[in-house]
Chains A and B, each alone.
Chain A
């Protein structure tokens, strides 16, 4: 069975494309558009990697990192999707334990490379 990816992004359009490409790449994808739901999901099941947008309703990507690292005490790799001009957020994300980040507009090919790299580490 393929590696599992949790994709947290409330942009339906981008998420659809990424979901499509991840599945093509052999990943098992769980997609959620809501930070709160993501937290619920993670309580029961930890994927092999988490890809999350910084701006999410109910729970931001930053909060999510904090939750995974400090509350769930998990070292699952996290890749953050951020917008250009949000450098401060990216720094905070790294400080909290994010493993990598990718800037919008997201190239799906690049994201897949980054995911593969994190998982193989």
Chain B
């Protein structure tokens, strides 16, 4: 992955940011719009250069370096207010096209460059999301919740996530929770995870070797109120004294070239401080150049006594809890790694599932034939037993109650060969580690055997593969007639259709994060015409349903339908491509 490409892109973004900050979009006149357009074109052509002119030297413009922090107030507000559509739309196309490009026959060098584009675009997307988060906070639109949650398991989850970040690097990840830290407290668990992940994530970014240590202890305790101190210490590059003073200001990073070297908007700490402030906590930084940084923050929490906590409120550890969907689901887990097993069992139990774990093949087969298991989670690469073999044995079992249970495989790496093997064996779906809880949830919901609440789409999914899935059917004959049989026009329209679909995928992904159902509804609405044109009635129905779920505020349903869309769209596009090919040959 080429860092210089990324730097170049980030340079372009900064320039873009400066251009955008100079005017307000409501008052956009033709000349300004033109300038904005040309910025985007520069940005785009820079991307194109990486693909088409591999030998071009990337010259990073240093001219305006550092001026991002100038006119901070105005630039922040204007940039934030208008960052959404205008930037994300082309960005989504870039990401989408890079994906498409990767499917073509590329040389290794070209492949690497496309990788760089994807990396850079994803970085940009992350930056934009950070900016949005910040604007949400500054405008006070961010929701805070107060629920009882298990602090210890939250800390463990956070550390687990960090472990996946530092993999393959010489960094030791340490955690020290003092005995006096209460287990169950009352507050906002998702915000606390966000703060910790932000700080730990920063450390991971800036530490090249040594350790990152999270320490937690109770600083003060009066009756049921306590002040908990968290500290994240690392052996990273450190921050100079002068820079510490300004580091909490938006768009500031320690050194002017930090963003060039390490990426990021410089908003992470601002967001963190803002959240801590809202929760009546405080934060401070101690740092020495070249030897490391320690960030401490203290937060007031109410202590809940463990005995009075109903198991229900424990479920609310994650904000997007949608446990209702899985209550009563019986799941069999094959996983050798004890820590992973523990995590997954705990999570599934929280969601109301009945879980069978710690099983070998024989015990598993016994459970499958004696109980009504809805789903199997299978680690493919277990040291003790081979997940492929276990899956094969289940699929080859003579009892149809056993061999028909859906299997979801998970694995930390997944090669093309693995995917072929999975298909051959009859594994239904897979999860790539590290996966998020949302991934886990949606994959289970999608695949589990009988889903009474979502039977409509479950039944579509359960249809045998011999019959094409309703959601992937298309017919171009009608559109061809509308084009008076002109194949060039048809090709053009199909190209636009694909572009729309990719934009939709990107837009919804972003708006799901901010739970902006209004924007999602709008995106879905705009998509309908295209799916009607190619007579993709099944998928169009799904989109209509998605749009109406937005309007009735059913966030979880929207998410599931989007997952279904993501799942089936590639198949639909495949059908589209092959039908178009046939028409082109005629």
Nearest CB in chain A to that of B494: its residue: A13
Q: Say whether A3 faces chain B, with CB atoms less than 8 Å apart.
A: no
| Interface 1/0 per residue, A91-119 and B, CB below 8 Å | 00000000000001111110000000000
Interface size class of chain A, counting residues whose CB lies under 8 Å from the partner chain: 10 to 19
Q: Is the CB of A17 within 8 A of B533?
A: yes
Q: Say whether B73 faces chain A, with CB atoms less than 8 Å apart.
A: no
Question: Complex: how many Å from CA A105 to CA B525?
Answer: 12
The stretch from B227-235, B458-466, B481-489 touching chain A is: B481-489
Question: Complex: how many Å from CA A17 to CA B528?
Answer: 15
Q: Is the CB of A83 within 8 A of B482?
A: no
Interface residues of A, dominant DSSP: helix
Q: Say whether A87 faces chain B, with CB atoms less than 8 Å apart.
A: no
Q: Is the CB of A13 within 8 A of B489?
A: no
Contacts of B525 in A (CB 8 A): 55, 83
Interchain pairs with CB closer than 8 A, number: 50
Q: Is the CB of B496 within 8 A of A12?
A: yes
Q: Is the CB of B526 within 8 A of A11?
A: yes
Q: Say whether B569 faces chain A, with CB atoms less than 8 Å apart.
A: no
Count residues on chain B whose CB falls below 8 Å from chain A CBs: 21
Question: Complex: how many Å from CA A83 to CA B493?
Answer: 20
| Interface 1/0 per residue, B523-541 and A, CB below 8 Å | 0011011101100000000
Question: Complex: how many Å from CA A16 to CA B500?
Answer: 13
Q: Say whether B497 faces chain A, with CB atoms less than 8 Å apart.
A: yes
Question: Complex: how many Å from CA A105 to CA B479?
Answer: 12
Contacts of B500 in A (CB 8 A): 11-13
Question: Complex: how many Å from CA A12 to CA B526?
Answer: 10
Question: Complex: how many Å from CA A83 to CA B527?
Answer: 12
- Decide: A17 near B526, CB < 8 A? Known: A12-B500, A104-B532, A105-B533: no
Q: Is the CB of A109 within 8 A of B496?
A: no
Q: Nearest-CB distance from B460 to chain A (Å)?
A: 22
Additional 9 contacts, C-beta under 8 A, given A13-B496, A21-B484? A11-B529, A11-B530, A12-B499, A55-B526, A83-B525, A105-B528, A105-B529, A107-B482, A109-B482
Q: List 19 A-B contacts (CB under 8 A).
A: A10-B526, A11-B529, A11-B530, A13-B493, A13-B497, A13-B500, A16-B496, A20-B486, A20-B489, A24-B484, A83-B528, A104-B528, A104-B532, A105-B528, A105-B529, A105-B532, A105-B533, A107-B482, A109-B482
| B contact residues vs A (CB 8 Å cutoff) | 30, 479, 482-484, 486, 489, 492-493, 496-497, 499-500, 522, 525-526, 528-530, 532-533
